[in-house]
Structure 1
Amino acid sequence: MKKLAKACLLITAVLFAAPKVHAQISIGVTISANVAPPALPVYVQPACPTDGYLWVPGYWAYDNDSEDYYWVPGVWVAPPTPGYLWTPAYWGYAGGVYGFHAGYWGRHVGFYGGINYGYGYGGVGFGGGAWSGNTFRYNTAVVNVNTTVVHNTYVDKTVIVNNNVTVNNHNSFNGPGGVTAQPRPEEMAAMKEQHVPATSQQQSHERTASQDKSQFASVNHGKPNNAAMNKVGGSHFTPNGQKAPRNNNNNANNNAANNGHQNNDAAKQPNVQQDGHANNNAMKTTDAEKQDQQPAQQQQHVQQQQHNQQQQHVQQQQHNQQQQHSQQQHKQPQQQHKSAPKPHTEQKHEK
């Protein structure tokens, strides 16, 4: 019911919004929220891990069930086809709601709300590199690449906005109180071109973020520790560019993220009342099973001891018999070699 009401509200906003706003919000809006997204966090871009990957800036996504924003880390990804560039997602305000405009792939970069995401996405177009045939060349003036594996590079500092390659401001949405940019003619043209939605890897990347409770704004207060990644499923990086430990609780946090951020610690700690009875019953069952197993284990132990003793006794008897037989065989040859006693002769004495 809540989702239906939001959908109706969004449709109303689209129908009655001003024409200039309608041009933005009518394309690619997939979700809406009643509150503005948090400010964009400032973070260091990890190095491009391999040739041909393109940068997808991090963004705030929204979970309707928990009514909370969560941070999708910036990440290097493979484009769906050579020659395509990424137009980032953005939030736009119109008719009392904030609408999410999904990003897309295309031959040219379209309008992304004038948001300065940094690293080539300064608010208009993209200055982080360009395609040369089927080869992508990276502008190392604004993007970070591993030059030991990526050799197609150049330097063009003219694309740097206000001497800042990261972000100039923290505005995360287009509209009153945020960025007030409007689509340029070239951006409008790009919006009408054939587009390809986010790849399956990108969708998986966003889904993983939605299952990590630490990525939600209500938990990290707008400062996610996992700010960026070098590739989907790769290394996590903190805002200052240091490698962050992997969160092994993603699976455990799945229900928390999708069901209103319920505290998931009860599933880990038997003393929490939420799952206490089930855990206590499981512990009692385990104790009972152990008690039942003890007599059987003791009986098996006694039987094993008896078997071992019998086996040792039989082996000892066999050893003794073999030893006696060997001794008898050794004595017989000695008796045969003894010389026979000489016959006794009497000497006669002549008188």
Structure 2
Amino acid sequence: MKKIASVFMVLLIVSAASVKAYAQISIGVSVNIAPPVLPTYTQPPCPVDGYLWTPGYWAYDQDGGYYWVPGVWVSPPRVGYLWTPGYWGYDGAVYVFHEGYWAPHIGFYGGVNYGYGYVGTGYVGGRWAGNSFQYNTAVVNVNNTVVHNTYINKTVINNNVTVNNNSFNGPGGVTAKPQPQEQAAEKESHIQPTADQITHRQVAVKDPSQFAKNNNGHPATAAMNKVNGSRFTQEGSRAQPSVRANAAANPAHAGNAAPSADNSANSHSPARRTNVAAVNNGAARAAAQHSNRAPRRQALAPREERPHRERQR
């Protein structure tokens, strides 16, 4: 009898742990106010073969309110897995955020049309073909110099941008219900957002220009080509991170002071030191020749790692 009771307790603990893990994946914070509408923006090109697009979304901070997490290309945690975006849903009293996840198939993401392949149900921006991901360039933007696994499906070409801008599921927003295939995907093995995705969100929350209360729904950085990579405005031009966002992305350099805008007035600048030396020793020509030498070549940056490929069985 004691043995049966022990087995029952083990099963109960495992079951509770599974429910808790699933809850962490599916349910996030709850808010009394609906999120702002989705901003329209230009998608930056995919920078690395094998990266997948994760659309931008409004997250919530207890102190600052809603802030925009830029859309970004990321490396999937496993070959064959796709990203189901998170979404806000109204449960009759509050707006609840359902966290996104990785799985073999796309699950329900509230019917929200995030654009660039995420048209409210499923994903039409690409597909896995064995160990390689193929991109539908009728829908997504890629760097053709590094990404060659592409195809064109023109039947979805009109769905590559957000149309209605609704950012939540519920009254006043999207009223979609989960389809059978989406419900089946919910029961598959899930992988939570990767460490890069978590870092990406943490950088966004430290940037005041990303908060709706400061940008009126128009974030300074709408999208990025990769985590800690280049930033882009809604129009697709390069954006500059705020000081706080830059410090969050590069904590090792957070304490470095910004250089003076007027280097000519700085007696410690290279140009100033050269002029002083020339006056003191009469070697103006030698100093000028020395300053005109070609700089040494910088070491090449490490190559981007592609997602781990698993052998098909």
Above 0.5 in TM-score?
yes
**1:249, distance to aligned residue in structure 2 (A):** 2.8
Query: Take 2:180 and 2:159, find their aligned partners in 1: how far apart are those partners?
Result: 26
What is residue 292 of structure 1 aligned with on the other side?
none
The aligned counterpart of 1:145 is 142
Q: Quote how far apart the aligned CAs of 1:159 are.
A: 2.6
Query: Are residues 164 and 150 of structure 1, via their aligned partners in 2, closer, same or farther at CA, if it must alter by over 3 Å?
Result: same
Equivalent in the alignment of 1:65: 63
In the other structure, the counterpart of 1:242 is 237
Structure 1 equivalent of residue 206 of structure 2: 211
Deviation digits for residues 52-110 of structure 1 (CA, Å, limit 9, x no counterpart): 000000000000233x1000000000000100000001000012100000000000000
Deviation of 1:168 (Å): 1.1
Distance 1:94 1:223 in 2: 27
Aligned to 1:188: 183
Correspondence list, 1:256-295, <5 A: none
What displacement does 1:252 show?
7.3
Alpha-carbon offset, residue 27 of structure 1: 7.2
The residue type paired with residue 130 of structure 1 is R
CA contact (8 A) 1:59 1:73 kept: yes
Tell me the secondary structure at the aligned position of residue 29 of structure 2.
strand
Alpha-carbon distance between aligned partners in 2 of 1:75 and 1:197, rounded to the nearest angstrom: 16
The aligned residue for residue 120 of structure 1 is: 117
Check 1:252–1:245 CA distance in 2 against 1; reply closer, same or farther (3 A cut). Answer: closer
**Bigger mean CA deviation after superposition, 195-204 or 164-173:** 164-173
**What does 1:20-59 align with in structure 2 at a 5 Å threshold?**
28-59=26-57
TM-score (norm 1): 0.63
Per the alignment, residue 177 of structure 1 pairs with 172
Larger relative CO (CA 8 A, sep 6+): 1 or 2? 2
Aligned position for 1:96: 93
Encode CA deviations 1:247-280: one digit per residue, 9 max, x unaligned: 22327799xxxxxxxxxxxxx9xxxxxxxxxxxx
Q: 2:104 is matched with which residue: 104, 107, 119?
A: 107
Residue pair 1:55, 1:76 contacting (<8 A) in 2 also: yes
SS at match of 1:136: strand
Read off the aligned partner of 2:226 and give its amino acid letter: K
CA distance 1:107–1:94, change in 2 (3 Å):
same
Matched, 1:159 2:151: no
Q: Is the 8 A contact 1:227 1:238 kept in 2?
A: yes
Question: Match of 2:127, SS?
Answer: strand
Larger Rg: 1 or 2? 1
Q: CA deviation at 1:245?
A: 1.7
Alignment partner of 1:30: what SS? coil
Match of 2:9 in 1: none
Task: Describe the shift of the 1:119–1:107 C-alpha distance in structure 2 as closer, same or farther (beyond 3 A).
Answer: same
Equivalent residue for 2:297?
none
CA contact 2:66–2:211 (8 Å) conserved in 1: yes
CA distance in structure 2 between the partners assigned to 1:201 and 1:26 by the alignment: 18
The percentage of counterpart residues that share the same residue type is 63
Once the 2 structures are TM-superposed, how far is the Cα of residue 30 of structure 1 from its aligned partner? 1.0
CA offset at residue 246 of structure 1? 2.7
- Match in the other structure for 2:216: 221
SS in 2 for 1:222: coil
Q: Partners of 1:100 and 1:197 in 2: how far apart?
A: 14
Q: What TM-score does the superposition give when structure 2 sets the normalisation length? A: 0.70
| Contact persistence 2:89–2:169 (CA under 8 A) | yes
Structure 1: give runs of 5+ residues left out of the alignment.
1-24, 255-267, 269-351
SS of the equivalent of 1:202 reads helix
2-structure distance, mates of 1:92, 1:27: 15
CA-CA distance at 1:157 after TM superposition: 1.5
Matched AA of 1:201: D
